[in-house]
Structure 1
Amino acid sequence: MSIVGDIPTEQGPQQTGVRQVLGWLTKALALASAGALTLSLAACGKAGSTNQASQNSESADEIAFMLDWTPNTNHVGIYVAQEQGYYKDAGVKVKILPTAQAGAETSVENGVADVGFSKLSNLAAFNAKGSHLQLVFNLGQHSIARWCSLASRTDIATPKDFDGKTFVSFGSAEQTAVVQAMIRNAGGKGDFKRATSGTNTFATLTSGKGDFAGFYVTWEGVQSDLKGPKLHCFVQSDWGVPGNPDQTGFAVKASWLKDSKHRQALKKFVQATKRGYAWSLAHPDQAAKILVKQTPTAHIDPLQASTSMDRIVKDGYWTAGPGQTSISGAVNMQDAQTYLDFQYQAGSYQDGKGKPLQRAPQARDLWTDEFVK
């Protein structure tokens, strides 16, 4: 889940190949065009006749959901809701689509998926260029982004030491603004080179092709602790970057919400998924096992999954505080707007013609709390 591009195309050390992803997506599109989104993801159904099960299937609402990356603990609530039968209980059928090369946001905008895993700052960038996306559920209550070099790099003690070195990324304006601010607030100039990451950011750093990169502490940070290589990381808020850049959750297209049937299906989906995330926080080890079981092709390391869940619970990344299990699903509007204002002032947002926006994106326009209540 390397932070190598806020609007991802090819991501992460765990990612399956692009050809495999595209193959999965092609199959999903073929099924969708045939009207075959009829897979009930409830693994444990209640006893009943075949005819009754068929009637329930036909009457259920449908949601096609696209991941933003290969399955990981950010998605655990979805797979738990599947395993525990929460979607079936709610009367909604959920089809989980693997991430597309173009990204979940583009897939939602184009109608390939009804709902996609994204984050508020991504929606700001997309909508600035003419999209009409809205966040309807927010998982990330605290930032999980970290900016790291290998621990073996003794020449990098603070972000100031990133000056003149090579940043492994896909060159997003948002990340450039964050790294420049961190460097300058540490006393540097904010000048650095860029290198494109391959499928494994750790390998890019250890090969010497790059000096530092962005990672997520709840996944790659765990991987580093368990398997290496060890990282030396910095948190952007410690170096003058305000707000929370990682308000991450579910995005939909605004026009899709105009259909009352879609709104009904989305409400059922969000509420059942909230239930899945809450159960995951209350039963982290069991939730990790469900994630591994439900995603065999992702080849998730069970120890990484369980350690990640333990870290999420302990540090309270999805809740108001450590150890809590109550999922609000809401956006912290102050943190969101503060971060969007920072990015606007840095010149990160441009319209569809490449011109700077006249005002900062507004968090209130990118978010609705209708479906989390």
Structure 2
Amino acid sequence: MNSPPDPGDRPPNLTRRSLLALGLGAGVTALTAWGGGPGSGAAGTQQAANDGVSMTDVSLALDWTPNTNHTGIFVAQQLGYFAARGINLRIVPYGSTAPETLISTHKADFGISYQDGLTEAAVAGGDIVSIFAITQKTDVVIGVRADAAIKSPAQLDGKVYAGYGGPMEVPMLQYVIRAAGGTGQFKDVTLNTDAYQALYAGQADFAMPEPTWEVLQAALVGKPLRTFDVTDYGFPAIYSAIIASSNHYLHRNGDVAKRFLAAIEEGYAYASAHPTEAANLLIQANQAVLGTQTELVIQSAQLEAAQYYKDAEGRIGYQSAARWQALTAFMFENGILTDSAGKPIKTEPKVSTLFTNQYLPASVTA
């Protein structure tokens, strides 16, 4: 990948990091085209070799440039959790081909996705299934300037929304605004900029930033936001970051998938228990990308550890059928799901085809 990803490269993810929010410049991706390197678990790989463990090559495609959603992955790599389980992990940086496509065409063994995006890809005929929930809490909120007179989503009627053109944005906002007492009528403009920048520049009245990144960044630069959690108004919770694979790969490499997720789960358990240390390991592995944003990365890692990695029962990676059903039903009822020809599907998909917990460590599913 020779240039940073553009929002038009793939169907926008409501929770995908914006390039500007990460503060990256035009050649940074050349610095992240790694699968190993300093601190990438080389010592653990050598130890595994010395112990006679057979190493298996595994590829994981990122959904964006390295960020705190990926913390547990880099922790597991840095601390040798993959190597200890006989896995030689190659991290594939985000490029012009979406992870969902790489997985479905069997060019990558695993990849980072998100619930609504995976659902769209699977319904359109992609060979893809979610196997691990990185975040258990919806990582998108409605945001307005902190000094705005807007105190409720109901007051967004007639206002200007700065979006990214994703198919679920408008239906989601209409749902929340109506649930708050409004009509759901607003103007929608597509901007290629950070949420807080658009709001403070007067280009829009509200946006949907990520609380674990853009909202924190906005506060750090002196442009704070007031936010509204969409789930507070009855909108279905979203698995905003997940790990996916293909049925093709899983059916042939089930044991590898289980060892891979055991290392992933251990990495996110460490990130949950030691967020600052985990953030530093993430930065260490991606110095060129994140080295100038230490405070933001640490704050984000701490927030994700406190609120996002574990579900209500304290489980990491686990996915609920009820949550998959709720969002899938919303997407189906609003005509968001289309077949390979781009036509709305006529039958609601079975969520059992979209996700599975069977490759998680037994301690998670027990």
Report the TM-score, using the length of structure 2 for normalisation: 0.85
Task: Tell me the distance in 2 between the aligned counterparts of 1:95 and 1:228.
Answer: 38
Aligned to 1:132: 127
Output aligned runs, 1:36-55, within 5 Å: 41-45=40-44
Determine if the alignment matches structure 1 residue 117 to structure 2 residue 117: no
Deviation at 1:247, TM superposition (A): 4.8
Q: Tell me, what secondary structure is at the counterpart of 2:356?
A: coil
Asked if the contact 1:68/1:118 (under 8 Å) is kept, the reply is yes
Output aligned runs, 1:355-370, within 5 Å: 355-370=343-358
Determine if the alignment matches structure 1 residue 166 to structure 2 residue 160: yes
Asked if the contact 1:174/1:348 (under 8 Å) is kept, the reply is yes
Output aligned runs, 1:1-373, within 5 Å: 5-6=13-14, 11-14=19-22, 16-17=24-25, 20-21=28-29, 41-45=40-44, 59-154=54-149, 156-241=150-235, 243-260=236-253, 263-300=254-291, 301-314=293-306, 316-321=307-312, 327-373=315-361
Task: Tell me the distance in 1 between the aligned counterparts of 2:320 and 2:87.
Answer: 28
Amino acid at match of 2:241: T
Q: Tell me, what secondary structure is at the counterpart of 2:209?
A: strand
Asked if the contact 1:135/1:250 (under 8 Å) is kept, the reply is yes
Amino acid at match of 1:291: L
With over 3 angstroms needed to count, the CA separation of the structure-2 counterparts of 1:20 and 1:106, relative to structure 1, is farther
Asked if the contact 2:156/2:186 (under 8 Å) is kept, the reply is yes
Gaps of at least 5 residues in structure 1 are 29-36
Task: Tell me the distance in 2 between the aligned counterparts of 1:8 and 1:237.
Answer: 18
Task: Tell me the distance in 2 between the aligned counterparts of 1:102 and 1:46.
Answer: 29
Task: Tell me the distance in 2 between the aligned counterparts of 1:48 and 1:97.
Answer: 24
Deviation at 1:259, TM superposition (A): 2.2
Q: Tell me, what secondary structure is at the counterpart of 1:215?
A: coil
Gaps of at least 5 residues in structure 2 are 1-6, 362-366
Q: Deviations over 1:299-357 (max 9, x none)?
A: 2522222222322333x322134xx9x54311021122112112222222122223222
Aligned residue pairs: how many?
A: 350
Task: Tell me the distance in 2 between the aligned counterparts of 1:126 and 1:178.
Answer: 19
With over 3 angstroms needed to count, the CA separation of the structure-2 counterparts of 1:103 and 1:223, relative to structure 1, is same
Asked if the contact 1:277/1:327 (under 8 Å) is kept, the reply is no
Q: Tell me, what secondary structure is at the counterpart of 2:22?
A: coil
Asked if the contact 1:4/1:213 (under 8 Å) is kept, the reply is no
With over 3 angstroms needed to count, the CA separation of the structure-2 counterparts of 1:128 and 1:110, relative to structure 1, is same
With over 3 angstroms needed to count, the CA separation of the structure-2 counterparts of 1:117 and 1:90, relative to structure 1, is same
Deviation at 1:81, TM superposition (A): 0.6
With over 3 angstroms needed to count, the CA separation of the structure-2 counterparts of 1:348 and 1:79, relative to structure 1, is same
Amino acid at match of 1:349: L
Amino acid at match of 1:41: S
Task: Tell me the distance in 2 between the aligned counterparts of 1:278 and 1:142.
Answer: 16
With over 3 angstroms needed to count, the CA separation of the structure-2 counterparts of 1:218 and 1:149, relative to structure 1, is same
Task: Tell me the distance in 2 between the aligned counterparts of 1:199 and 1:190.
Answer: 24
Asked if the contact 1:15/1:199 (under 8 Å) is kept, the reply is no
Task: Tell me the distance in 2 between the aligned counterparts of 1:9 and 1:221.
Answer: 12
Asked if the contact 2:159/2:187 (under 8 Å) is kept, the reply is yes
With over 3 angstroms needed to count, the CA separation of the structure-2 counterparts of 1:282 and 1:10, relative to structure 1, is closer
Q: Deviations over 1:129-158 (max 9, x none)?
A: 22121001112222232111121322x222
With over 3 angstroms needed to count, the CA separation of the structure-2 counterparts of 1:346 and 1:147, relative to structure 1, is same
